[in-house]
Amino acid sequence: MYKWFLSHQWKEMTRSNFWQKSLVINIIIGFFMLIMFSYLVLLGLFIDKILIDINPKGDVFAMFNGGLLYYLGVDLFVRFFMYSLPVINIESYLHLPIQKSKILNFLLLKSSLNIFNILPLLMFIPFAFKVVVVGYSGNIALSWMILMVILILNNSFLLHYLKRRFIDKPAIIGIFALILVSAMLLDKFNIIALSEFSSQMFVFLAYNPLYIIFPLILLILIYGINFSYLKSRMTLEDVNVKKQKKIDSLSRIKYFDSFGDLGEMILLEMKLVWRNKRCRSVINMSPIFLLYGFFFYPQDIYLEGFGFLIFVGVFMTGGIMFNYGQYMLSWESNYFDGILAHNVDFQKHFRAKYIMIISTVIISYILTIPYVFFGTKVLIINTATFLFNLGFLSFLLMYFSSNSRKRMDMTKSSAFNYQGLGATNWIMILPFFLLPIIIWLPFNLFGLPYMGIGVIGGIGVVSLAFHKSLMKIIVKRFEEKKHAIAEGFREL
């Protein structure tokens, strides 16, 4: 029976238009995935040396286990925004003489073979062979690896349940992220000892494999909760239920009426983000960009220099802008011909998009101001990169994005979804992250790093002063290519 299900899933994937027409992109993605896998294997082989450099007198196995609770928490948070729940066409099977339990078991077992469960094993397995087997024993390494697999599956099935229950309440996972970051900071300043507790617990379980029965019972319990929840909703009435039409809160906002046509276009852009899964998932992932500083600012090695702080500043204040703005025309690919057929003022159309883009930059910058806790140097660099994103990179992003010709399905999540991704999107990555550092480097070579930071911010201010001229260039380029863009969007 499961072989039959697998055959259907394989045929559905290989016969899809996206698979057939994006073979080159699939090969490129596969190449980059292979590189990422190689890096994880190398990390697993050399992480003992990294840990020894951090604490030469510490026990490598204990230090590694000390970070596992944090890893599980971060993993759960990242999965919530990036992982797409596995689905099958249930309607095709409900009328057949197939037990519902078999369909659900296949769906849940299929979910255990996802990339988020495979990636950590690429690091854990080399670490187990190099450190645990050599330094301890093969039995301890085996029990530790079994424990890791159980914990990974626990996280996976727990995520499935939480995402199905709270998919429309991302604020809950935001509160979880705040608690997680607070725990990290309290641990760093020796107020609580969560890492020590994590180390002692997992080392104890590795030495006493009999107690692994408790995480295993938890896994069975979480699996059963998922199974019961899905089974209670596995009827044709629940599957085919139609959502009642209702007016969302955005439709009741009257503030934009005072801006005339421009305000209406801004409101339409907001509705586009709010009502579609692909772009809404981009916004939901925004906390990942804003929390990026917590991984680097606490480390003195990064605070001593400038180059890496510039990269972090650009990433945090402009990450959402880049993730949203690079697809600004692809968002409209399903009805792009309708836009061209109407008498649309493209100057206002692009200005509405520009306001949306810079709004993400402004909000991101405001939320990064508390990082001044790590020093005024961080605030100065973040302010300069904020101005650079606001005035210069935002227009550069719109200029490149106005050449997008890849159609996009707005009903699908953005996690590991490369539909709508073309060569232009890859090219945009280079100036977005490297250009500020390239501008700063000559000043640093002459011993004037802060002057280089000032020039980065100054370029943003000057660009803002000439924003009308820059907008005209973008609109003119778009009008020259709009029919070619429309032709590209018509390709399925």
In the numeric block, which tokens belong to residue 246? 């209702």
Please provide the average confidence, as pLDDT, over all residues in the chain. Answer: 78
Q: What is the residue type of 280?
A: R
Q: Assign 168 to helix, strand or coil.
A: coil
* Residues 229 and 375 both lie in one domain: no
| Owning domain of residue 148 | 37-239
In the numeric block, which tokens belong to residue 105? 């078991």
* Residues 229 and 269 both lie in one domain: no
In the numeric block, which tokens belong to residue 58? 């510490």
pTM > 0.75: no
pLDDT digits (tens, 9 = 90+) for 275-333: 666 676 666 666 677 777 777 787 777 777 788 889 888 888 888 888 777 877 877 77
Mean local confidence (pLDDT), 391-410: 79
pLDDT of res. 29: 65
Cα–Cα dist 315/176, whole Å: 23
Which has more confidence, 67 or 274? 67
Phi, psi of 245 (to 5 degrees): -70, 130
* Residues 149 and 286 both lie in one domain: no
* Residues 231 and 123 both lie in one domain: yes
Q: What is the DSSP letter of 430?
A: H
Highest mean pLDDT among 250-254, 334-338, 349-353, 411-415: 349-353
* Residues 200 and 266 both lie in one domain: no
* Residues 190 and 261 both lie in one domain: no
Last residue of a domain, one of 239, 270, 303: 239
Q: Which residues contact 40 (CB under 8 A, 6 or more apart)?
A: 119, 122, 123
Band the pLDDT of 54: cuts 50, 70, 90. confident
Last residue of a domain, one of 180, 209, 239: 239
DSSP 252-311: G--GGGGGTHHHHHHHHHHHHHHH-HHHHHHHHTHHHHHTGGGGTTT-HHHHT-SHHHHH
Reply yes or no on whether the pLDDT at 133 is more than 80.
Answer: yes
Phi, psi of 365 (to 5 degrees): -65, -45
Residue 248 Rama label (left phi>0; alpha psi -120 to 50; beta): beta
Asked if residue 402 lies in contact with residue 473, where contact means CB atoms within 8 angstroms, the answer is: no
User: Does a structural domain hold residue 15?
Assistant: no
Residue whose C-alpha is closest to residue 289's, from 266, 258, 323: 323
Q: Which residues contact 475 (CB under 8 A, 6 or more apart)?
A: 346, 347, 350
The count of structural domains within the chain is: 2
Mean local confidence (pLDDT), 430-459: 88
Band the pLDDT of 92: cuts 50, 70, 90. low
Residue whose C-alpha is closest to residue 382's, from 293, 461, 442: 293
Reply yes or no on whether the pLDDT at 261 is more than 60.
Answer: yes
Residue 161: exposed, middle, or buried by beta-carbon count in 10 A (0-12, 13-18, 19+)? Answer: middle
pLDDT of res. 345: 81
User: Does a structural domain hold residue 194?
Assistant: yes
Reply yes or no on whether the pLDDT at 455 is more than 90.
Answer: yes
pLDDT of res. 22: 54
* Residues 265 and 162 both lie in one domain: no
Residue whose C-alpha is closest to residue 135's, from 125, 143, 127: 127
pLDDT of res. 479: 86
Asked if residue 202 lies in contact with residue 147, where contact means CB atoms within 8 angstroms, the answer is: yes
User: Does a structural domain hold residue 252?
Assistant: no
Mean local confidence (pLDDT), 186-196: 79
Return the minimum-mean-pLDDT range out of 25-29, 184-188, 468-472, 475-479: 25-29
Residue whose C-alpha is closest to residue 355's, from 315, 396, 394, 403: 394
pLDDT of res. 14: 55
Mean local confidence (pLDDT), 62-67: 91
In the numeric block, which tokens belong to residue 83? 């992982």
In the numeric block, which tokens belong to residue 97? 């003489």
Asked if residue 393 lies in contact with residue 318, where contact means CB atoms within 8 angstroms, the answer is: yes
* Residues 105 and 225 both lie in one domain: yes
Q: Assign 419 to helix, strand or coil.
A: coil
User: Does a structural domain hold residue 344?
Assistant: yes
pLDDT of res. 346: 83
CA 300 from centre of chain: 26
Mean local confidence (pLDDT), 422-440: 73
Return the minimum-mean-pLDDT range out of 13-22, 107-116, 216-225, 330-339: 13-22
pLDDT of res. 87: 58
Instruction: Work out the number of other CB atoms within 10 angstroms of the CB of residue 108.
Output: 17
Mean local confidence (pLDDT), 253-273: 69
User: Does a structural domain hold residue 7?
Assistant: no
User: Does a structural domain hold residue 24?
Assistant: no
pLDDT of res. 13: 54
* Residues 202 and 265 both lie in one domain: no
Angle at 429 between CA 424 and CA 433, to 5 degrees: 155
User: Does a structural domain hold residue 1?
Assistant: no
Band the pLDDT of 1: cuts 50, 70, 90. low
* Residues 399 and 266 both lie in one domain: yes
Residue whose C-alpha is closest to residue 81's, from 319, 305, 252: 319
Asked if residue 162 lies in contact with residue 81, where contact means CB atoms within 8 angstroms, the answer is: no
Band the pLDDT of 28: cuts 50, 70, 90. low
pLDDT digits (tens, 9 = 90+) for 360-385: 899 889 888 888 888 889 999 999 99
Q: What is the DSSP letter of 189?
A: T
Which has more confidence, 13 or 450? 450
Band the pLDDT of 226: cuts 50, 70, 90. confident
pLDDT of res. 240: 45
Band the pLDDT of 11: cuts 50, 70, 90. low
pLDDT of res. 139: 92
Reply yes or no on whether the pLDDT at 195 is more than 80.
Answer: yes
Cα–Cα dist 206/132, whole Å: 10
Alpha carbon distance, N-terminus to C-terminus of the chain: 33
Residue whose C-alpha is closest to residue 309's, from 288, 292, 285, 287: 292
Highest mean pLDDT among 31-35, 213-217, 304-308, 310-314: 213-217
User: Does a structural domain hold residue 382?
Assistant: yes
